[in-house]
């Protein structure tokens, strides 16, 4: 049976069930997906998408909901064995395809016409695993290889929130959010020009593809 199998009838959320199967996190060092190239090493870079409106709203910039699913169902990430520069085009295309599928309802869910892929953050597996509360002795963040036939470099981030109070859970989400935005937001080249303002309202440092560099330059010229 797959490590990622979970009981849909259980009162425990999916992440809680996965943590219960791997209480000490040792399965991170094992290959748990038949389709993946192997376990996620500390030095690997992972990309995480920023989508509107389910991970980000127009008010107040980026928020801790960016990693909320790491506490419930599991947070999807893309492994970048060759680094961001090598994989950026493929990552943007994959994340845009997923957003388009959600808009059109072709991913098995009800259509979500507002779903918009804004851009990606990237960070190392070691940085994620080192993220914890001041009172913690061990990491709470786990990263598993979750490769699929159509996406062998898919990974899953889960947080062991055992024993945490609601304020502590929020603090942990905030720390993950701060870590994610450390290198800035790499804006999607697929983002429509009319939605560029949403990337700006994330209040993150932005790394722009050429198409959006020209948009920002035009806007600055008009302002002057």
Give per-residue pLDDT as tens, 7-53: 999 999 999 999 999 999 999 999 999 999 999 999 999 999 999 98
pLDDT at residue 222, as a whole number: 43
pLDDT at residue 218, as a whole number: 55
Contact 124, 143 (CB under 8 A): no
pLDDT, the chain, mean: 91
Q: Is 142 helix (H, G, I), strand (E, B) or coil?
A: strand
Q: Lay out the sheet containing 75-80: strands in order across.
A: 141-145, 154-159, 75-80, 45-52, 116-124, 185-187, 206-207
Nearest CA among 35, 27, 25 for reference residue 150? 35
Confidence band (pLDDT; 50, 70, 90) for 93? very high
pLDDT tens by residue, 116-158 = 999 999 999 999 999 999 999 999 999 999 999 999 999 999 9
Q: Which of 29-38, 132-141, 166-175, 211-220 has the lowest mean pLDDT?
A: 211-220
Calculate ∠ Cα 51-217-180, nearest 5°.
30
Would you give the DSSP letter of residue 187? E
For residue 61, the surrounding DSSP H or E stretch is none
Confidence band (pLDDT; 50, 70, 90) for 221? very low
Cα separation, 179 vs 127, whole angstroms:
8
CA 151 to chain CA centroid, nearest Å: 15
Cα separation, 95 vs 98, whole angstroms:
5
Is the per-residue pLDDT at 190 higher than 90?
Answer: yes
pLDDT at residue 59, as a whole number: 74
Confidence band (pLDDT; 50, 70, 90) for 82? very high
pLDDT at residue 213, as a whole number: 75
pLDDT at residue 76, as a whole number: 95
Task: Tell me whether the omega of the peptide bond preceding residue 53 falls within 30 degrees of 0, making it cis.
Answer: yes
pLDDT at residue 140, as a whole number: 96
pLDDT at residue 57, as a whole number: 75
Share of the chain above pLDDT 90, in %: 81
Q: β-strands 185-187, 141-145: how paired? A: unpaired
Q: Which of 104-108, 148-152, 200-204, 213-217 has the lowest mean pLDDT?
A: 213-217
CA dihedral in degrees (62, 67, 72, 74; nearest 10)? Answer: 140
Instruction: Give the residue extent of every domain in the chain.
Output: 14-223
pLDDT at residue 215, as a whole number: 63
């Amino acid at each position: 049976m797959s490590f990622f199998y979970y009981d849909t009838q259980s009162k425990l959320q999916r992440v809680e069930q996965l943590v219960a199967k791997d209480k000490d996190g040792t399965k991170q060092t094992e290959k748990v997906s038949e389709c993946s190239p192997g376990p996620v090493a500390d030095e690997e870079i992972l990309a995480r998408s920023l989508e509107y409106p389910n991970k980000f709203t127009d008010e107040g910039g980026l928020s801790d909901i960016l990693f909320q699913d790491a506490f419930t169902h599991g947070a999807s990430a893309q492994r970048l064995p060759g680094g961001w520069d090598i994989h950026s085009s493929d990552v943007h295309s994959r994340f845009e395809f997923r957003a388009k599928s959600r808009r059109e309802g072709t991913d098995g869910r009800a259509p979500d016409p507002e779903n918009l892929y804004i851009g990606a953050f990237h960070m190392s597996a070691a940085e994620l695993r080192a993220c914890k509360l001041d009172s913690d002795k061990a990491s709470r963040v786990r990263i598993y290889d979750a490769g699929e036939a159509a996406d062998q470099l898919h990974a899953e981030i889960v947080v062991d929130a055992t024993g945490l109070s609601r304020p502590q859970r929020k603090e942990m989400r905030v720390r993950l959010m701060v870590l994610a935005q450390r290198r800035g937001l790499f804006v999607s080249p697929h983002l429509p020009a009319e939605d560029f303002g949403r990337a700006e309202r994330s209040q993150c440092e932005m790394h722009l593809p050429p198409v959006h560099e020209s948009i920002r330059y035009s806007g600055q010229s008009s302002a002057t």
